Amino acid sequence: MLSAMKYLFLALVLFATSCLTEDITKISESQVPNEDTVSKDETEWRLAAIQKLWNERRKMGHTPLTKFSPPGFPNADIFFKNETATTTRTLKHRFAWALVLWAITEGKVTSKTSAVYDSTSGNTGSAEAYMCTLVNVPYYAVVADNLEEEKVKQIESFGGKIIKVPVAQRNLKAKEFAAKTNGFYMNQFGNAEKAEEFHESGDFYFESTNVYHEIIVQLKKDKSQTVKIPDYFVHSAGTGGTISSVGRYIARYGAPTKVILSDSQYSLFYDYVIGNKFTNQSGAGIWTPPGIAGIGYGYDIEPVLYGETTSLTRNVIHESMKMPDIASVAAMRILDEKGYNVGPSTSLNFLVSLYKAYQNKAKQSAIKHRLTIVTLACDPGDFYRSTYLKDEWVEKSFNKFGGVQGMECWKKLIQDSIDTGSDFVSKGLTMCPGSYKV
């Protein structure tokens, strides 16, 4: 009886399995299976779109590399890789190019995609708008409701549409809008690392598009430049895509350059990189506006989740350093007066570079050649004439740190450091308005 039931059970299992299993496509005497997975029209559209993107990449060429040699540090050079020379005037031009190329290559964006949506603080939005318009796909930038008007106009000038929401809801709303309209949520924060390989072209017609590759090529070609490989690469993080792509490049090819993350005052990235913190909790109660536009993390309602809310790869960063936000504003004013038309994130990069020059000088570094630091000029100061470069806005936004008076205090100390090689950080933390006590 038990044996009969056992065979009946097995028969039922085999019958159920046969009902659930679909027949495999078979080779027959009269036909070898052979069908198109992508239509001819879609293949042609994708090829044309990718060709347009590579033509754009050719037009971009190498952005300029400008040397700044602080008189107070006679054995140090700080190079600005000027990404404001791109068509959309920001470092996000090459980044958006890589993202859109990835999305089209993998079929995330097709000729039938209703629109591309992304959460942005402005610069990625304008660059994505440009790239999407180039391949004839509608683009919507989901931005904070207090985004600078200069950036709104920049996005619109490249064909993008604007959707304003509270800053903490940008990512969530961009995802929702894309889902409702059969669009694609680009998610620059989570997908930057997926587009990483598109910063490398394998020398197939084009050289690597990685920004660090360009830096090395430019230094090698400069006959007046004795140091060909930088000692440090300094950069901040918004998505984390750019600094991670550089960090991977440096690690992959065994370059001796150290990668330094420059982070803003209330950003969670420093602690994420150094201690792998804030992966289970958000920055609620920590993030303090206005921050440094376009960089840092903490305003989002979600924690730092690799591949979702950030593409910052901890293991390719060698060092991290924070600077007071008011000091970055002061540095922006100094650079503006010296003819460098750059925004606040570039100014933060500059401060970290300057302090790294001080550290090497103070400890009588073993580096015998000229200390060579390369950083990025991320976007132009023109985008911030109504905010960081306006005294009334600084007075109100940084009242806790003395407003304009605090900015002027830091400005004097930073200029002294440039001229004499002094330590602007220790002096500023004790002499300038605001409490930095832990």
Per residue in 219-240, pLDDT tens? 999 999 999 999 999 999 999 9
CATH 3.30.479.20 assigned to domain 64-85+226-428? The reply is no
Whether 97 contacts 56, CB under 8 Å: yes
Give the tens place of pLDDT for each residue, 354-397. 999 999 999 876 677 999 999 999 999 999 999 999 999 999 99
How many other CB atoms are found less than 10 A from the CB of residue 16?
Answer: 10
Alpha carbon distance 140, 300 (integer Å): 19
148-173 per-position pLDDT tens digit: 999 999 999 999 999 999 988 999 99
Q: How far apart are CA 233 and CA 93, in angstroms?
A: 20
pLDDT tens-digit series, residues 191-219: 988 876 655 655 556 677 889 999 999 99
- Residue 142 DSSP code: E
Q: Does the global pTM surpass 0.85? A: yes
Per the structure block, which two tokens stand in for 189?
A: 């924060």
14: confidence class by pLDDT, cuts 50, 70, 90: low
* DSSP conformation letters of 277-329: -SSSS--TTT--SS-STT--S-SSSS---BTTTB---GGG--EEEE--HHHHH
Sequence-distant (≥ 6) Cβ neighbours of residue 118 within 8 angstroms: 124, 125, 128, 139, 140, 141, 142, 174, 185, 186, 187, 188
Structure tokens at 15: 């019958």
Q: What percent of the chain has pLDDT over 90?
A: 83
- What pLDDT was estimated at residue 367? 74
Instruction: Tell me the domain boundaries of the chain.
Output: 64-85+226-428
Answer for the pair 61, 85: CB distance below 8 angstroms, yes or no.
Answer: no
Q: pLDDT value at position 196?
A: 67
* CB 100, CB 111: distance < 8 Å: no
Helix 241-252 vs helix 211-221: angle between axes, to the nearest 10 degrees?
Answer: 60
Question: What is the pLDDT confidence band of residue 7, given thresholds at 50, 70 and 90?
Answer: low
- The CB-based long-range contact list for 216-219 (8 Å cut-off, 24+ gap) reads 216/255, 217/62, 218/62, 218/65, 219/65
Q: Alpha-carbon distance 335 to 290, whole Å?
A: 20
Tens digits of residue pLDDT in 71-113: 999 999 999 999 999 999 999 999 999 999 999 999 999 999 9
